[in-house]
Amino acid sequence: MKIVKLKIENLSAVSGLPINIKDGKLLLVKNVSFLPVQTRTLGEAKFFLKNPNAKTKAKNLYLMYRGVHFKKDALVFKKNNCSYDITAINSGLLDKEYIKTIGHHHPLKPKTNVSFPEIYEVIHGQALFLFQEIFSKSKSKRVFLIKVGQGEKIIVPPGFGHVSINTTNKLLVLANIQATGFKSDYKLFKKHRGAAYYITNNRQLITNNKKIKENIRINQLNPHKSASFLLKKNPNYKNKFSLKIVKPKKIFKTPLYQAFIKNPKKFDFLNNPEKHKSFLALKNLFKF
């Protein structure tokens, strides 16, 4: 009988938390607490897909671990009105679209004209983030695509909705910190069946790409040298979009979790974005 050894990957050095991946699944150990795990099924996600009839064998597209912390750190998060969450996104395709989070935007902070930002860190795999301008009266809204590797951080700026896409063949694990006490808004992306662009793996179109004007090839973001993927414009939007591929600027080196516990005041921008406008300026967050 052949013994198959299951590979265990330890993510503690990257995440600052005792997290392992075993057999493609996330394991959090006992001295870490979190809320009951939430799942995103295909049935819930289909309203946000290019092809709502897409099929997959995976029971869940992704798992959401909310309010993750060492028990000793509970008060730090409570006092600073923040939550550290982990999302584990499976790899795979839904028809030709890569598995993604359904996407949402955050509301405006009451009595301000600034919406709540969020900070993400990739703790396993590689993410492709799509940030889409929501709160702007301009006819052409901006969309940013950002490839973020393991250990890198990215801030979702105020005014933007966001989708996280797994274009790789590995489990994508993201950590994020956001202010507590606001509700994410899923309506706009649901109404339009997703964000402004779908990230697809359409090899047939690639070999034939001169004919396809509405598609944009994005080889420079390609995580696999052997494969390509395409951006397909979502036809359900009436307004125009301007697309830019940007890179994340280095924010800090230490794991997000440790940085927050060490100096939670540094994360005041999450609760009071109106006081941190220059820090949250696009040119400060992205390399264009």
- List interacting residues with Fe ion (CB under 5 A): 118
Q: Which is nearer to Fe ion, 115 or 202 (CB)?
A: 115
Q: Which is nearer to Fe ion, 183 or 211 (CB)?
A: 183
Instruction: For strands 140-148 and 240-248, give the pairing.
Output: parallel
SS (H, E, C) 15-77: HCCCEEEECCEEEECCCEECCCCEEEEHHHHHHHCCCCCCCCCCCEEEEEECCCEEHHHHHHH
Amino acid at position 149, single letter: G
Residue 248 is encoded by which pair of tokens? Answer: 């994340």
- Burial group, residue 102, by CB count within 10 angstroms (0-12, 13-18, 19+): buried
- Quote the least distance from Cβ 163 to Fe ion, whole Å: 10
Q: Which is nearer to Fe ion, 17 or 270 (CB)?
A: 270
- Quote the least distance from Cβ 164 to Fe ion, whole Å: 9
Q: What is the largest CA-CA distance in the chain?
A: 67
Q: Which is nearer to Fe ion, 94 or 154 (CB)?
A: 154
Is-contact 175 110, C-beta < 8 A?
Answer: no
Q: Which is nearer to Fe ion, 130 or 218 (CB)?
A: 130
- Quote the least distance from Cβ 134 to Fe ion, whole Å: 12
- Quote the least distance from Cβ 26 to Fe ion, whole Å: 19
Is-contact 100 132, C-beta < 8 A?
Answer: no
Q: Which is nearer to Fe ion, 175 or 218 (CB)?
A: 175
- Quote the least distance from Cβ 158 to Fe ion, whole Å: 12
- Quote the least distance from Cβ 184 to Fe ion, whole Å: 5
Q: Given CA atoms 255, 261, 263, 266 in this order, what sign does their dihedral have? A: positive
Residue nearest to Fe ion (CB): 118
